[in-house]
Structure 1
Amino acid sequence: MATTNRQATTLALAHALSAAERGLAVLPLSRTKLPALRSPHRDDADPVGRPCHGECGRFGHGVYDASTDPARIRELFAAAPWATGYGIACGLPPHHLIGIDLDVKTGTDSSAALRELALRHLFTIPPTVVVVTPSGGRHLWLSGPPDVVVPNSAGRLAPGIDIRGAGGYLVGPGSRTDHGAYAAAPGTAHLPPAACPSALLRLLLPPPRAPHPEHHSAPPSMNGHGQGLVQFVLAAHEGQRNTRLFWAACRAYEDGIGPALVEPLVDAALNTGLSEREARATITSAARMTGHRP
């Protein structure tokens, strides 16, 4: 049994190193698909301050352990000799990976649900990496823009469709779990993650919430819809500023008021703490995503 586990760990490490060569940050996983290394802070009696994301220098911080450095990856697997798989961190450069998890265990046809969404919102999933799960489900790998944060979600897009975004991870092909092995679908293993279609990307972003009252206001010459988009950006908190700005800019360009709203959106983004460079880059990305010239 120990020999079998060593072989599985060796194989998982080899696959993980191969993924890292493609720019994918990886971490060791146990047979349960969870990070193989437990938190070094699990016995802390009175944790204070912000949660540690690896600043302490020790392993055991989940997806924050993920790396593309071969030496660090070998150290991670050496610290977890029981690991039989590896995870691929989403949302990190250079690919800013987004995982579309099509589940088959919920009793719903998630593939049909995705096709229906594609027809309704006029997008096509381009050729990309597809990983087949032990249950017969599929993971589609897509690449997102660098200035947009796609959150994790379960069933929000459609029943049976989970999204792996920033802070999440995908089980890498070649991993072995209690339920079987993960493998790349034939002909897809060497494809790069395809760019996420802009219409699908907008569906993956958080839905807008009713704007909170703010002391800042939009210019009086702006129509009500434009004011609402500016207020939506002003209501952003840290961690959602780029996402809200990108969503608002997309809506503005789709509705034909993008150019007129650039400066008010930049001003709103500055009020939330973004730099002017970040704000303009995000708005430019939204213009391109919606087929407009920045």
Structure 2
Amino acid sequence: MATTDRQATTLALAHALSAAERGLAVIPLSRTKLPALRSPHRDDPVPGRPCHGECGRFGHGVYDASTDPVRIRELFAAAPWATGYGIACGLPPYHLIGVDLDTKSCTDSSAALRELALRHLFTIPETVVVLTPSGGRHLWLTGPPDTVVPNSAGRLAPGIDIRGAGGYLVGPGSRTDHGVYTAVPGTAHLAPAACPPSLLRLLLPPPRPHQPAPPAAGDHGRGLVHFVLTAHEGQRNTRLFWAACRAYENGIGPALVAPLTEAALHTGLTEREARATIASAARMTGHHP
């Protein structure tokens, strides 16, 4: 068993180095498909800001990924039990996006992808396809360098998971508890194809609706300003004084000095009269104008 594991580790390292030569950043994986090296911070007494490798030690998952053969050998030397390797997504030069078509769900994920393609008018280009031991497939696509595709599970459709920035794909040649990952014949030599724009739009989170910044004084402040604007002759000073008092009592007096002054000018008061009235209201309510 030990000999078999050593052979699996040697083979995984060879595959990882070959992937790195193609520009793909890699990390060693265990038989469970998880990063082979545990976090060096797991026993820290007080958790701090998440470390992404700044400490200089191994064990930061996908943040350890590298294309440097020396570093890759060091990673595998630190994890002699590794039997596979992971390929980091979202990194240059490919900005890899993995479309994971799962077979463990009740839904036919391949049929779901075909339906999405018909509905949104895109075609999956010829690209690298990796078969999983369970019968699933990983499609390798590339994204634009200025676009961050998030990881998701089942958001696109049931049974379809997406590996994006911060995620990784199990590389072909990796051995796990359930079997070996293999490239579909005729695709291993291909470069990952560009993700169709229509599909890329589906992979990105919906844009947040524009929320206009509320005025500093809120709805109550707008009501007070409107109260002053609708004053008739003979009410102008009284309404301004009342509105200014309410504004200071509610803690929004300083923010409403300019809007109330402008409203008073529209009713016919002079700026000097308006500011004097507001200042009087401030003093009346115990504030310094």
Fold shared, TM-score > 0.5 on shorter chain = yes
1:126 is paired with a residue whose SS is: coil
Which residue is 2:146 aligned to?
147
1:124 is paired with a residue whose SS is: coil
Which residue is 2:39 aligned to?
39
Paired with 2:213 and 2:123, the residues of 1 have a C-alpha distance of 39
Which residue is 1:29 aligned to?
29
Which residue is 2:221 aligned to?
none
1:99 is paired with a residue whose SS is: strand
Which residue is 2:283 aligned to?
none
Paired with 1:201 and 1:172, the residues of 2 have a C-alpha distance of 23
Paired with 1:213 and 1:45, the residues of 2 have a C-alpha distance of 43
Paired with 2:58 and 2:44, the residues of 1 have a C-alpha distance of 15
Paired with 2:157 and 2:208, the residues of 1 have a C-alpha distance of 20
CA offset at residue 205 of structure 1? 0.1
User: Any idea what the Cα deviations from partners look like across 1:63-82, whole Å, max 9, x if unmatched?
Assistant: 00000000000000000000
Paired with 1:79 and 1:213, the residues of 2 have a C-alpha distance of 52
User: Any idea what the Cα deviations from partners look like across 1:245-272, whole Å, max 9, x if unmatched?
Assistant: xxxxxxxxxxxxxxxxxxxxxxxxxxxx
Which residue is 2:128 aligned to?
129
User: Any idea what the Cα deviations from partners look like across 1:86-131, whole Å, max 9, x if unmatched?
Assistant: 0000000000000000001101100000000000000001100000
Which residue is 1:206 aligned to?
205
Q: Percent identity?
A: 87
User: Any idea what the Cα deviations from partners look like across 1:38-86, whole Å, max 9, x if unmatched?
Assistant: 00000001022x2100000000000000000000000000000000000
Larger Rg: 2
Which residue is 1:94 aligned to?
93
User: Structure 2 matches for 1:262-281, cutoff 5 A?
Assistant: none
Paired with 1:12 and 1:85, the residues of 2 have a C-alpha distance of 5
User: Structure 2 matches for 1:81-230, cutoff 5 A?
Assistant: 81-214=80-213
One-letter identity of the residue aligned with 2:61: G
One-letter identity of the residue aligned with 1:161: I
User: Structure 2 matches for 1:233-248, cutoff 5 A?
Assistant: none
User: Any idea what the Cα deviations from partners look like across 1:11-54, whole Å, max 9, x if unmatched?
Assistant: 00000000000000000000000000000000001022x21000
How many positions carry a matched residue from both structures?
Answer: 215
Q: TM-score, normalised by structure 1?
A: 0.72
Paired with 1:43 and 1:62, the residues of 2 have a C-alpha distance of 16
Which residue is 1:268 aligned to?
none
CA offset at residue 208 of structure 1? 2.8
2:11 is paired with a residue whose SS is: helix
2:140 is paired with a residue whose SS is: strand
Structure 1: tracts of 5 or more residues without a match: 217-294
1:203 is paired with a residue whose SS is: helix
One-letter identity of the residue aligned with 2:30: S
Paired with 1:185 and 1:23, the residues of 2 have a C-alpha distance of 20
Which residue is 1:62 aligned to?
61
Paired with 1:214 and 1:42, the residues of 2 have a C-alpha distance of 42
CA RMSD of aligned residues (A): 1.1
Paired with 2:46 and 2:159, the residues of 1 have a C-alpha distance of 39
Q: TM-score, normalised by structure 2?
A: 0.73
Deviating runs (4+, > 3 A) in structure 1? 209-213
One-letter identity of the residue aligned with 1:180: G
One-letter identity of the residue aligned with 1:120: R
